[in-house]
Amino acid sequence: MDVKLSISKICKLICAVSFTLSIFAGQATVIIGGDILNGNFNAGSADGDTTDDNFQATPGWSNIFGAPTMQATRTNLASPDGSRNAVLSLSGDRVFTSELGLNGYIISAGDTFDVQYEWRDAFNWNDSLDRVGVTLFTTDDDTITGAMTELIVDFSELSTANNAYETVDHDAFYTATAGDAGKRLFLYFNGVTGEGSDTNGFARFDNLTLEVTSEVPEPSSAFLICLAGLGLVSRRR
């Protein structure tokens, strides 16, 4: 067996793998969005009402701080894509919560998260005070009912277009730490009242997308090493 030839093949294989990793490094993966985990809120109508659905009839979503029979989505005040949308309130008992799938998403250190969605003000919403908040959190037992630790609360800007949908697109709004690693991720969003604002305000929310870019081992070092190895084999030949 030609040992030099074998070393050469191994080095070439390492180079190929390193190059492949460099291509895929930094590509975002959709955790929730569109039809994935009902990020567009179009799945539903399980209660037989095509106008509005409660949380029990809204797949992928629960109301962590309120009753499951509370109204969750409606078809009026349609978003730009003309679809069903989520009803937000400032009362504190209508909080859309996702387990991010049956098995959830397990955090790795260095994970970077992006969030996008559309929202608009509605009845009694105070455009100068009230916002939408998207929260990433973990729990002490990796269940949605466990003791909560909020990782980040990402707020929308104040409404700048009365009775019109606006787009929020926040890249890299959270980067996971080593302390987050190995824990299951959860998400909730809600209306957040400003100081002195009326808690009887409402808004609409649609087309949520949460993406993650995972940190991968930097392939450049291995790539340089294998190139050096190939050069060494070539010289020995």
DSSP letter string, 169-220: EEEEEEE--TTTTTPEEEEEEEEEPPTT--TT-EEEEEEEEEEEE-----HH
- The boundaries of the domain holding residue 156 are 32-215
* Whole-number pLDDT of residue 20: 44
Number of structural domains found in the chain: 2
* Whole-number pLDDT of residue 27: 87
Identify any residues that bridge with 167 across adjacent strands, giving them in sequence order: 118
Do 113 and 179 sit in the same domain of this protein?
yes
Do 12 and 110 sit in the same domain of this protein?
no
Do 13 and 71 sit in the same domain of this protein?
no
Do 78 and 12 sit in the same domain of this protein?
no
* Tokens standing for residue 142: 């990796």
Do 110 and 8 sit in the same domain of this protein?
no
Phi-psi region of 72 (alpha: psi -120 to 50; beta: other; left: phi over 0): alpha
Task: Provide the whole-model pTM.
Answer: 0.82
Do 177 and 233 sit in the same domain of this protein?
no
* Whole-number pLDDT of residue 42: 92
Distance CA 127, CA 30 (A): 31
* Whole-number pLDDT of residue 50: 63
The low-confidence residues of the chain, meaning pLDDT below 50, are 3, 5, 11, 13-24, 232-233, 237
Do 196 and 236 sit in the same domain of this protein?
no
* Whole-number pLDDT of residue 19: 43
CATH code for the domain in which residue 151 is found: 2.60.120.260
* Whole-number pLDDT of residue 154: 98
